[in-house]
Amino acid sequence: MVRYAKPQSLDEALALLSAGTWTILAGGTDFYPAQGNRPIRENILDINDLAQLRGIAITDTHFVIGAGTSWTEVARAELPPAFTALKQASAEVGSVQIQNTATLAGNLCNASPAADGVPALLILDAEVELRSIGQTRVVPLQDFVLGNRKTAREPNELVTAIRIPKASASGSSSFYKLGARRYLVISIAMTAVRIELDQGGSIADVAIAVGACSATAQRLRGLESTLRGLPAQDNFDDHVQPEHFDTLTPIDDVRGSADYRREAAREIVLRALKEAVALQLDPLSRLANGVAA
């Protein structure tokens, strides 16, 4: 007999997870398309009644995005400019209908190489909070998403929150999604960039992530260290070199060739960098330009 459970408390949910094999149902925007018209033959754990998973909290050290928080809730939340990339990503996830339903945590757990949320969270050094009975562990996002449709979540664990260290929530950020049409599109490539300038107008710190160009989105650490210390007014063209993208392993598919992805990744990183700098120098410029993608 397949089971459906809608626990009313986190403890109840974790108890169920420890005692059986469950498919977790959150927003449902990946669950139903994957299901198609096949009958459901697995146990479903519906976490939508877990009120404590909803909303964004600010602790002494972290911004904590509950696992049940929707993209729309993120977009409407008051958050510092470092979150601009995440907000821009939220506006590019599917459509308004999807953003109202889908959760950020679900986007991570679905672990698509083209997950819109991953690059913007990687540049915030996001961590994933996982709970099982009697245990909580926190895993850096890059260690949580292991591959195409593969995560570090154990079957008895529930993702309960996405945590962003306050130390990483500084500076300004920008997101660029490259697709073959305007809305409802899966990325050919995407990037998120966060930048902090020092008093002298040089790059004090920078974080860059690229999605849809590898099995999982990647931080470009080599490029980040190349850019640190450069004046913000640089056009970066000479510094952002193709070899900085060698860690990416793009594939050829219907959306674009591997070569195209590699080349486009460099270009959109450059654009997002310049946009992030512009935002830092003049936060209002953003309003005139609209969303990057």
Partner 1 sequence: MTFSPGSIAFNLNGAPVTADASPTQRLSSLLREELMVRGTKVGCDAGDCGACTVLLDGEPVCACLVPAIRVAGRDVQTVEGLANGALSALQAAFLDHGAAQCGICTPGFLVAATALLERNPKPSRAQVRDGLGGVLCRCTGYRKIEDAVMSVAHGLPASPTNIAPASGKAIGARVPRLDGMPKVDGRESFGADGFPADALAVAVIRSPYHHATFELGDVDGFRSANPGIVAIFTASDIPGRNLFGTIPQFVDQPALAQSETRFRGEAVAIIAGERAAIIDLDLSAFPVTWHEKPSALDPVQAEASGAPLVHADRKNNLLIAGFVEHGDADAAIAGSAHVATATIETSYVEHAYIEPEAGWAAMDGDTLVIHACTQAPFMDRDDLAPVLGLAPEKVRIVPTATGGGFGSKLDLSVQPLIGLVALKTGRAASLAYTRSESMMSTTKRHPAKMRASIGCDADGRVTGMVFDGAFNTGAYSSFGPTVANRVPVHASGPYLVPHYRATARAVHTNGPNSGAFRGFGVPQCTIIQEALYDDLADRIGIDRLDFRIRNALRDGDRTVTGQKLESGVGITACLEALTPHWVRANSDAIAFNATDGHLRRGVGIASCWYGCGNTSVANPSTIKIGISPDGRVMLHQGAVDIGQGSNTVIAQIAADSLGLPLDTIELVSADTSITPDAGKTSASRQTYITGKAAEKSARSLREQILRVANVSGDAILDIQGSQLVLREGSASRMLELSSLPADADGYVFGAQESYDPPTEPLDAKGQGKPYAVYGYGAQIAELEVDMKLGTIRLVKITAAHDVGRAINPLLVEGQIEGGIAQGIGLALMEEYIPGRTENLHDYLIPTIGDVPPIESILVEVADPEGPAGAKGLGEHVLIPTAPAILNAIRHATGIDIRKVPATPSRVLTAIKEART
Q: Given the rule CB under 8 A, which residues bind partner 1?
A: 1-6, 25, 27-29, 32-33, 36-41, 44, 46, 48, 72, 91, 94-98, 100-101, 178, 180-186, 188, 254-257, 259-260, 263-264, 267-268, 290
As measured in angstroms, the least distance from the Cβ of 121 to partner 1 is 22
Neighbouring CB atoms inside 10 A of 227's CB total 24
- Supply 44's token pair: 């479903």
CB of 242 to partner 1, least distance (A): 13
Phi, psi of 231 (to 5 degrees): -65, 140
Question: How many angstroms separate the CA atoms of 202 and 58, rounded?
Answer: 29
- Whole-number minimum distance, CB 267 to partner 1, in Å? 5
For residue 19, give the 3-state DSSP assignment.
coil
- Looking at the Cβ atoms of 53 and 141, the one nearer to partner 1 is 53
The CB-of-271 to partner 1 minimum distance in angstroms stands at 9
Residue 98 or 152: the one with the smaller Cβ distance to partner 1 is 98
Q: Which is nearer to partner 1, 29 or 142 (CB)?
A: 29
Q: How many CB atoms lie within 10 A of CB 257?
A: 14
The residue assigned the tokens 């305007």 is: 182
In the bound state with partner 1, the residue whose beta carbon lies nearer, of 3 and 137, is 3
Q: Which is nearer to partner 1, 98 or 204 (CB)?
A: 98
Shortest Å distance, C-beta 207 to partner 1: 23
Query: In what side-by-side order are the strands of the sheet with 218-219?
Result: 172-178, 189-197, 203-211, 218-219
Q: Which of 129, 116, 130 is nearest to 63 (CA)?
A: 129
| Beta carbon of residue 2, minimum distance to partner 1 (angstroms, whole number) | 6
Which is nearer to partner 1, 85 or 126 (by Cβ)?
Answer: 85
DSSP 103: B
The number of CA neighbours under 13 Å toward the Cβ of 264 is 21
Minimum CB distance to partner 1, residue 6 (Å): 6
- Cβ neighbors of 197 (< 8 A, separation 6 or more) are 171, 203, 204, 232, 277, 280, 281
CB 193 within 8 Å of CB 85: yes
DSSP state of 166: G
By beta-carbon proximity to partner 1, the closer residue of 100 and 226 is 100
